[in-house]
Amino acid sequence: MNIAWGCDHSGYEGPPPIYKTELVRYIEELGHTVVDCGTFGPESVDYPDYANAVCAAILSGKADEGILMCGTGLGVAMAANRHKGVRAAVCTNAEMVKMAREHNNANVLCLGRRILTLDECERLIDTWFEARFQGGERHLRRIAKMG
Ligand code: RB5
């Protein structure tokens, strides 16, 4: 799949390993093509710009789904969820990822650099790619009500 990646400067924070570069590489190692929407360095930037870029990639068909990162995951999720057709989920554990996929049919995973270890991010990404929307009338009905 084509996966749009976006993060603010938090993706470059802290001592190496740098989460952004490690996670982009990890997603590629899983066999996906990354559409890298930035950011590309540690300079302070505004997270909505990167959330908007990832959503634009998805909504234009350039990417199938997206992964976003900011300090907490919250800001990028708030920005992404303003786009009709995007269902972005902040997840801090595997059960949240599973439910976001199976029930909410989430198409964007939002991760917090300051909340999760790099290994935790990788495990959540594993679950993200394993889990699938369950489908079914009740889930489709509820999702439709979100517009
Ligand atoms: C940036 O310092 C920080 O506010 C941002 O990454 C994010 O956590 C916002 O939700």
Please give the number of the atom of ligand 1 that sits closest to the Cα of 71.
8
Residue pLDDT, tens place only, 106-122: 999 999 999 999 999 99
Q: Which domains are assigned to the chain? A: 2-145 (3.40.1400.10)
Question: What local confidence, expressed as pLDDT, does residue 61 receive?
Answer: 98
Mutate to test the pocket of ligand 1, among 7, 45, 69, 76 (most ligand atoms within 8 A of CB): 76
Does 47 sit in the ligand 1 pocket, CB within 6 Å?
Answer: yes
Does 39 sit in the ligand 1 pocket, CB within 6 Å?
Answer: no
Residue pLDDT, tens place only, 53-97: 999 999 999 999 999 999 999 999 999 999 999 999 999 999 999
pTM above 0.85, yes or no: yes
- What proportion of the chain, given as a percentage, has pLDDT over 90? 99
- Structure tokens of 16? 């190496």
Nearest CA to ligand 1 atom 1: 71
Question: What local confidence, expressed as pLDDT, does residue 78 receive?
Answer: 98
Query: pLDDT band for position 147 (50/70/90)?
Result: confident
Does 81 sit in the ligand 1 pocket, CB within 6 Å?
Answer: no
- Report whether pLDDT(43) > 90: yes
pLDDT averaged over every residue in the chain: 98
Q: Indicate which residues carry an active-site annotation.
A: 70, 103
Question: What local confidence, expressed as pLDDT, does residue 87 receive?
Answer: 98
Query: pLDDT band for position 50 (50/70/90)?
Result: very high
Question: What local confidence, expressed as pLDDT, does residue 60 receive?
Answer: 98
Please give the number of the atom of ligand 1 that sits closest to the Cα of 75.
10
CA distance 80 to 100: 15
Length of the chain equals: 147
Among positive and negative, which fits the CA dihedral 44, 74, 58, 18?
positive
Residues 66 and 57 sit within 8 Å (Cβ to Cβ): yes
Nearest CA to ligand 1 atom 4: 71
How do strand 108-112 and strand 88-90 relate by DSSP bridges?
parallel
39 prior amide bond cis, ω within 30: yes
Residues 59 and 14 sit within 8 Å (Cβ to Cβ): no
Does 74 sit in the ligand 1 pocket, CB within 6 Å?
Answer: yes
